[in-house]
A = this chain, B = another copy of it.
Amino acid sequence: MMATDPHPDSALYQLAYSAGDALKSRGWYCATAESCTGGGIASAITSIAGSSAWFACGWVTYSNISKEQLLGVSADALEKQGAVSEAVVRQMAEGAQKKSGVDITVAVSGVAGPDGGTAEKPVGMVCIAWTTRTQTESTTFMFDGNRADVRLQTIEAALNGLIRLCCVS
């Protein structure tokens, strides 16, 4: 049987396990707000047994209207900056934090491809934001590969950021 969950020997499983460990050590709960990964970050986190001790909830806001209605992203940011922008993922992360009340959230929006890329925002461009109770950070990545590759690298970067913020903030 082909499993979508990462195999315990895989790098992704180890990363999801480490993220859970970091959150648990800190006594923190996390939430996710995903566009291009479509639930893949939450799925990776919850592939670890016992993850209800550090994962509360997540949103998959794939359409623009759901980013507005479920997470309170402003129509202005969506129109002027576009769905794939640090302005929008910061609002997604902060909206998820506000609505869930958790300690840390991560939000992603990107161009997974194969279609949808432009000169300014090519396939592989992904914006990620992390919000804790005291700060919001965001970064723009340019990932290589096909749709599955871009989505996987986004999940990995999202988890790495969670681990880092658990350790440094």
Binding site for B on A (CB under 8 A): 1-7, 10-12, 32, 34, 37-47, 49-52, 55-63, 65-66, 69-70, 99-100, 113-115, 145, 147-149, 151-152, 155
Contacts and interface: CB of A to CB of B under 8 A. Distances in A.
Interface of A is mostly: mixed
Contacts of A4: 4-6, 12, 40, 43-44, 148, 151-152, 155
Contact of A149 (B3, B40, B49, B99): B3
Given A56-B63, A60-B59, A100-B66, A149 B43 contact: no
A151 B70 CA distance: 26
Contacts of A151: 3-5, 47
Q: Assembly of this chain: how many copies? A: 2
Contacts of A59: 57-60
A62 B130 CA distance: 20
Nearest to A39: B39
Contacts of A32: 39, 60
Most chain B CB within a 10 A radius of its CB, from A34, A43, A44, A55 = A43
